[in-house]
Chains A and B, each alone.
Chain A
Amino acid sequence: MNDMTDGYMTADGRKIGGVVMELKNITLKFGGVTAISDISFDIREGEIRAIIGPNGAGKSSMLNVISGFYIPTEGEVWYRGARRPQMRPYKVAQMGIARTFQNIALFDGMSVLDNIMTGRLTKMKKGLFAQAGWWFTGAAKEEDEHRAKVEKIIDFLEIQNIRKTPVGRLPYGLKKRVELARALAAEPSILLLDEPMAGMNVEEKEDMCRFILDVNDEFGTTTVLIEHDMGVVMDLSDRVVVMDYGRKIGDGPPDEVRNNQDVIDAYLGVAHD
């Protein structure tokens, strides 16, 4: 499945691998509202895949389907070559899919460090009773190893100086960064980011862009990214899915998508018939 044979090379020379996840004919309804209607696309190993579209297009809903928070009304999610059965969100997380939220979901009462440590929970092996032994059973050593990994991420995202700060006190931009750090701590095989740059100033946006690119470069992390800002999407992503009113109206490399007439119409707000 992960052979490079059916992958492609990006313009900047990164190798994109085989399909890790495939969404097949996903439909999601909330009562009378159809948030997603019959959408299919795939996600390849190592790529940055963007989902764009106007407000209410169904982008977050799609991310929620991938992360198991929403159960699609119809359609299938295929992960690493097998159909994924209906799965609770925590199980999806345990399978290596980490995410951030559009309106930030952090543990406000905990420090930045503790928040990021929770990202390691899926990697922690020692059970309840082994931990009671602490030094004797190696639980202390395990904790140290996790701490070391977390410290690396903290350095990477340049948040050393707020390590001990309770997250609730941080400004919005930093919260977004801590949420990214927590997701990264899980060493995910797919990273889902719901508008990681929303509400940020230009400088913060540039930082965030750089982090996302660096993460992808350094760890080869497959990333699915929702973003409003066309410019950002063009810079960051390898392939783009464009959604509008729950439908998919475009799918391909940024340049191609940008020149697609449907996409232009959707973004210019041409009246729907």
Chain B
Amino acid sequence: MTTVDTPVTAATAATATRAPSTLALLGAEVRDELKQVYREPAALFFSVLMPVAFFAFFSAMFGGETAGVGGLPVGTTMLATFGAYGVLGATMLTPGIGLAEERERGWLDVVKVSPVPVPLTLLAKVVATLPYCVGILGAMTATAAALGVLRIGVGQWLLLLAALLVGSLPFALIGLAVGARASGNATTAVLNAFVIPMAIAGGLWFPLEMLPGWMGSVAQFLPTYHLSRLALGPLEGGAATGSIGHAAYLLGFAVVAGAVAAVAYRRPAR
């Protein structure tokens, strides 16, 4: 260490610190989160690989059938259902596990002591899952094209992505709620135990018609079902009036999830 022999920049009174804007703080947080994503590409790769491998497997088997909505190839409608599985998995697990780990390692305390409000840090974690979400849907789209089962316009594709991103936000809140209380390992286990059954029962992996009848009626109550229906809207084109109902359901789910997350976070941990 060298010693400061020049006068230190006048402390205290002279420190005319102006609070940075919320947007500037969010930008700084998102940038740091993204840097971490890109500097550990293996995590990104495997999070994308899993759902895309499932997608490739199933669309290679049934993708060419035209049982899909509006006579679309199943391989195209699976972009909505498997896409929902992949995107909600990424937005739910990544921020939740990140929060749990940072809490365990003491970094969250550093954030709390800093001028950054904690909700901004959490929002940044969710925003930073964008590369995962785009990667997952992009890779599925490329797979469908390679299998010759892709029938979708650019505008539809962008709407599909938007529906998946917005519709996944309540799931991100659930992930954060768990991450606010449980350890990193426990968060991973708990959230996986949630995602996979919810994906199957909500009809994200297999069409509900293939499942026992009672599961079909249960599905109506699951947020995963409504997410996939919302995502199917842009593919159906024109008469997607049902989307409003699905969006309303997800909004209600978001309010509940937000309340749960706020309580989980406020109750003193440790």
Q: Tell whether A and B belong to one assembly.
A: no
| Chain A residues close to B by CB (< 8 Å) | none
